[in-house]
């Protein structure tokens, strides 16, 4: 197994887009490909870390030595993260987690018959990053992502404080080369100690290593 500056560290990463089922054939989701989270998990592994990756559905590839826990919904991801967080000293939440799920799962396929429209009541999902910050803030290194289409830095700053995270990696979907599905990202890294660093457009692998550099320095 690789040896590097993260040898002896245990890193928990989340990746991908959760799926929130309406009925046996349909679900709500988002456009996350999992590339950002897998880039982080793979980079941490190559730097010697013990890596656990909590993966919502995606088609990315991780190194064989990485422990992968496959999950579907936000609730599944919450359960898997909480079960694996105790052993980690760094937690990085790159997954795009659905904030809401259909309030009621229908056991049988919802039929169209005679309806012009339907209402779909939604219920809140647990906020995993918040739960981690509440439980482990100040004890483990916690990095969240922040994906916005407007007011990026303002929202990122709010998340950093409210969620008791050490770092927030902010990306704006409307920037060229940033966000979902691309091999690159454009991020600004905000840290608990007040730094705001705007990085240029970089490969997701390079963003992953830049973030890991900062986590290890802050440990």
Least gap, CB of 79 to ligand PMT (angstroms): 12
Interatomic CA distance for residues 14 and 10, integer angstroms: 14
Least gap, CB of 82 to ligand PMT (angstroms): 11
Interatomic CA distance for residues 197 and 184, integer angstroms: 17
Q: In terms of Cα–Cα distance, which of 180, 164, 168, 75 is closest to 126?
A: 75
Active site residues: 30
Looking at residue 16, the DSSP 8-state letter turns out to be S
Residue numbers of the site for ligand PMT (CB under 6 A)? 32-36, 74, 93-97, 99, 125, 127-129, 144-147, 159, 171, 179-181
Q: 24 labelled as ligand-binding?
A: no
52, two tokens: 């656990």
Nearer to ligand PMT, 138 or 181 (CB): 181
Q: Is the Cα dihedral 14, 20, 26, 30 positive or negative?
A: negative
Q: 219 labelled as ligand-binding?
A: no
Interatomic CA distance for residues 58 and 213, integer angstroms: 26
Q: Is the Cα dihedral 36, 208, 163, 160 positive or negative?
A: negative
Least gap, CB of 45 to ligand PMT (angstroms): 17
Q: 159 labelled as ligand-binding?
A: yes
Nearer to ligand PMT, 76 or 99 (CB): 99
Q: 163 labelled as ligand-binding?
A: yes
Nearer to ligand PMT, 111 or 139 (CB): 139
Q: Which residues are annotated as a binding site for CTP?
A: 99, 109, 126-129, 145, 159, 163
Q: Which residues are annotated as a binding site?
A: 99, 109, 126-129, 145, 159, 163
């Amino acid at each position: 197994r690789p040896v590097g500056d993260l040898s002896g560290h245990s890193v928990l990463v989340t990746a991908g887009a959760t799926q929130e089922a309406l009925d046996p054939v349909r679900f709500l989701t988002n456009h996350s490909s999992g590339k950002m989270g897998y880039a982080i998990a793979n980079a941490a592994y190559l730097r010697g870390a013990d890596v656990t990756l909590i993966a919502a559905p995606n088609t990315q590839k991780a190194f064989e030595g990485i422990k992968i826990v496959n999950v579907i919904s936000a609730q599944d991801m919450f359960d898997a993260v909480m079960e694996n967080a105790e052993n980690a000293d760094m937690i990085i939440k790159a997954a795009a987690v659905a904030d809401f799920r259909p309030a009621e799962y229908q056991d049988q396929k919802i039929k169209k018959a005679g309806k012009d429209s339907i209402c779909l009541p939604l219920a809140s999902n647990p906020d995993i990053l918040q739960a981690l910050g509440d439980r482990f803030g100040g004890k483990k290194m916690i990095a969240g992502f922040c994906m916005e289409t407007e007011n990026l830095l303002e929202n990122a700053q709010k998340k950093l404080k409210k969620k008791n995270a050490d770092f927030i990696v902010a990306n704006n979907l409307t920037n060229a080369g940033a966000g979902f599905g691309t091999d690159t990202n454009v991020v600004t890294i905000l840290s608990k100690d007040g730094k705001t660093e705007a990085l240029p457009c970089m490969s997701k692998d390079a963003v992953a290593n830049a973030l890991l550099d900062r986590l290890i320095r802050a440990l």
